[in-house]
Structure 1
């Protein structure tokens, strides 16, 4: 593979991962009932409306989940899988084309939890009164809560983000071969 194809493949992976992650974040913000006036919600809406609104005309968000955002993220994952296969010379197998988009969604969601937790920990030390810190706390709390049951606080220090970080890293070791379609 030449350098240009490698660079182009990297850029495709980067931009589709960013877009897919923001789409999943939009769905998670909706699921956690974060108000649309919140800065994180406004950020997600501003970056993804161009893709989500046309999908929302054919299907509505229902129940707890924002299905137009999830379907849009799945579409981005399919596009990323196909483009990566073409750029990196990975054969197009039916099984790979089915598994790869789901693996990408898991990877993007896991990276979102990982980075959300890291950013929340840093902000909680530096700017604990910030509205963004509070919202991030609401968004990562469903992942931290089970870890808090396993690891109690030590002298007021919450170690649960470390367990979440380790579990996310384990998932991110397992998922990339599936995301590349090597099944």
Structure 2
């Protein structure tokens, strides 16, 4: 029972930190202002949760075009720590390379989960026609991912089905990734 509680707390903390680092990465890539002066309600929250790891990494990890690689490396390191702790709790049963692969899979899984949440919020906000900074922010984050789908999937009776198609694709990817990760985690738990 204690093990399950520790694993749950570890997943919550590392999931929140990793997702916030990924959100910072994506928002900066989309050139969405994060400063308090910009009026972005998420900016201060993102900075508060990620500055402790991203800012020191920026000294050694350069940006790659519009991509803040320090945020990506920070997200990966948090996932690596997550699976490293699980590895240690389970008696170091597998190779360290397996932990690196699990961390990469965890990073992708959290990216898919975060995008799924954004698309769901976007879809709900599109139904109620809420005009706010938050709805514009979500729209700016989701539109680049929906654009290729909108080129292929036509409007049906004036309804945009691209968010539904994206959600189905994300769920399929999540299932495949989850099965792969579960198989590897089973090996770690031994």
> TM-score when scaled to structure 2?
0.86
Please give the per-residue CA displacement for 1:101-134, whole angstroms capped at 9, x wherever unaligned.
1101110110111001101111232353111111
Deviation at 1:160, TM superposition (A): 0.8
Aligned residue in 1 for 2:10: 12
Counterpart selection for 1:138 from 128, 137, 140: 140
Aligned partners of 1:87, 1:157: CA distance in 2, in Å? 50
* Number of corresponding residues: 181
Please give the per-residue CA displacement for 1:59-97, whole angstroms capped at 9, x wherever unaligned.
343411011111100100100111223345672224412
Q: Looking at both structures, which has the greater relative contact order when contacts are Cα pairs under 8 Å and sequence separation is at least 6? A: 1
Please give the per-residue CA displacement for 1:10-47, whole angstroms capped at 9, x wherever unaligned.
11112111110110110000111112222233332222
Aligned partners of 1:42, 1:9: CA distance in 2, in Å? 28
Change (3 A) 1:108 1:150: same
Are the counterparts in 2 of residues 99 and 179 from structure 1 also a CA contact under 8 Å?
no
Aligned residue in 2 for 1:97: 99
Aligned residue in 1 for 2:169: 167
Aligned partners of 1:41, 1:28: CA distance in 2, in Å? 12
* Superposition map of 1:55-94 within 5 A: 55-87=57-89, 91-94=93-96
Change (3 A) 1:90 1:107: farther
Aligned partners of 2:128, 2:86: CA distance in 1, in Å? 39
Aligned residue in 1 for 2:118: 116
Are the counterparts in 2 of residues 20 and 77 from structure 1 also a CA contact under 8 Å?
yes
Change (3 A) 1:88 1:150: farther
Aligned residue in 1 for 2:128: 126
* Superposition map of 1:39-54 within 5 A: 39-54=41-56
Q: Any idea what SS the aligned residue of 1:39 has?
A: coil
Are the counterparts in 2 of residues 100 and 178 from structure 1 also a CA contact under 8 Å?
no
- Structure 1's unaligned 5+ residue stretches are none
Change (3 A) 1:127 1:39: farther
Change (3 A) 1:89 1:33: same
